[in-house]
Amino acid sequence: MSIFTPTNQIRLTNVAVVRMKKGGKRFEIACYKNKVVSWRSGAEKDLDEVLQTHSVFVNVSKGQAAKKDDLTGAFGTDDLTEICKQILANGELQVSDKERRTQLETSFRDIATIVAEKCVNPETKRPYTVNLIERAMKDIHYSIKANKSTKQQALEVIRQLKETMEIQRAHMRLRLMLPAKDAKRLKEKLKPLLQIVESEDFDEDLEMVVLVDPGCYREIDELIRCETKGRGSLEVLSLKDVEEGEEKL
């Protein structure tokens, strides 16, 4: 009978436990810290760098190994390495602080990159750099939500950034061809959706080159298709209206 005293207490260090419940039983494996996520993402290829030992436990901290019968019953095999791999792939684990931090950092950068790609400085029509967006995101204290996709969050960030700095979604350049009959009526309807009308040419048909917010595209498309019964058309001239090339001040 062991008494739990500081002298005979064995602390597990550098151990990350991955648990899995299968067949009504709980199985655990002992892994190294900070390695499981790398294994799952495929960066770590050496199993020995992940597993402390190739044995499967019922309770790692107590050192109770799982019974062979239970293993075959739950996994259908008694190959411990194979079972370890299964548990590694599907088990639950406590993500370590280091792993979490890298994850957050990556998604933070990812969001900043998406924002930088989609937006321009409205004055110069040039994109902002990722670094600058990152700094701006920190300034508005944006916190990352793990359960939302980075793209969704990027759109959210853009909206919030607009309050503090000069930023704008890069406009799309569209060419609208409207048949003469509907042109006038349709133009009124389109007006609130168009940002800038670059050229307007009214001979038989109305031809317009316009800049619009990418968010309005579907709406405009819908409107034109329905109102003109398919005779009007819409062509995207450029997805993103930005200045190209270098400019010397």
Partner 1 sequence: MGLTILEKIKVLQKNPANIRNLCILAHVDHGEQEYLLNLIDSPGHVDFSSEVSTAVRLCDGAIVIVDAVEGVCPQTQAVLRQAWLENIRPVLVINKIDRLILELKLTSQEAYSHLQKILGQVNAVTGSLFTSKVLEERAEKDSEEPEREASGYGEEVVYDWSAGLEEVDDSNLYFSPDQGNVVFASAIDGWGFSIQQFAEIYSQRMGIRPWVLLKTLWGDFYLNAKAKKIIKGAQAKGKKPLFVQLVLDNIWSLYDAVVTKRDKEKVDKVVTSLGVKIMARDTRHSDPKVLLSAICSQWLPVPQAVLSMVCEKLPSPLEMSAERVEKLLSVGARRFNSLPQQTQELKQVFLQCSSEDNAPVIVFVSKMFVVDSKALPHKRQRPLTHEEIAQRREVARQRHAERMASALAVKEQSAEEEEERETFVAFARVFSGVVRPGQRVFVLGPKYDPALGLNTLPEGCSAQSDSLPDTPHMSRSTLGGLYLLMGRELEELEEVPAGNVLGIGGLEDFVLKSATLSSSPACPPFTPLNFEATPIVRVAIEPKHPSEMPKLVRGMRLLNQADPCAEVLIQETGEHVLVTAGEVHLQRCLDDLRQRFAKIEISASKPIIPFRETVVRPPKVDMVNEDLGKQHKVAIIHQVKEDSSLGRSSDTLHVDSVGLVTLTTPNRLATVSIRAIPLPQEVMSLLESSAELIRTLEQVNMSLREGRALEVNPRTLEDIAALKDRLETLLQGHRWRNAVERIWAFGPRRYGPNILLNGVESYQRPSVWQCLNHSADKPHTTLRDLDNSIVSGFQLATLAGPMCEEPLMGVCFSLERWDVQTSASAPHQDSVEEEEDAVSQDAPGDIEAQGENAAVGQAKWRIEADCYGPVSGQLIAATKEACRHAFQAQPQRLMAAMYTCEIMATAEVLGRVYGVLGKREGRVVHEEMKEGTDMFTIKAILPVAESFGFTDEIRKRTSGLASPQLIFSHWEVISSDPYWVPTTEEEYLHFGEKADSANQALKYMNAVRRRKGLYVEEKTVEHAEKQRTLGKNK
Q: Which is nearer to partner 1, 32 or 72 (CB)?
A: 32
Q: Which is nearer to partner 1, 68 or 139 (CB)?
A: 139
Q: Is residue 164 within 8 Å of residue 140, measured between CB atoms?
A: yes
Distance in Å, CB of 40 to partner 1, minimum: 10
Work out whether 63 is an interface residue with partner 1 (CB under 8 A). Answer: no
Q: Which is nearer to partner 1, 25 or 125 (CB)?
A: 125
Work out whether 49 is an interface residue with partner 1 (CB under 8 A). Answer: yes
Binding footprint of partner 1, residue count (CB under 8 A):
78
Q: Is residue 109 within 8 Å of residue 129, measured between CB atoms?
A: no
Judged by CB under 8 A, the chain residues 150 through 169 that form the site for partner 1 are 151-152, 155-156, 164-166
Q: Which of 64, 77, 90, 124 binds partner 1 (CB under 8 A)?
A: 124
**160 vs 144: CA distance, rounded Å:** 13
Q: Which of 82, 139, 200, 201 binds partner 1 (CB under 8 A)?
A: 139
**233 vs 240: CA distance, rounded Å:** 20
Q: Which is nearer to partner 1, 74 or 142 (CB)?
A: 142
Contacts with 122 (C-beta within 8 Å, 6 or more apart), sequence order: 166, 167, 168
Work out whether 118 is an interface residue with partner 1 (CB under 8 A). Answer: yes
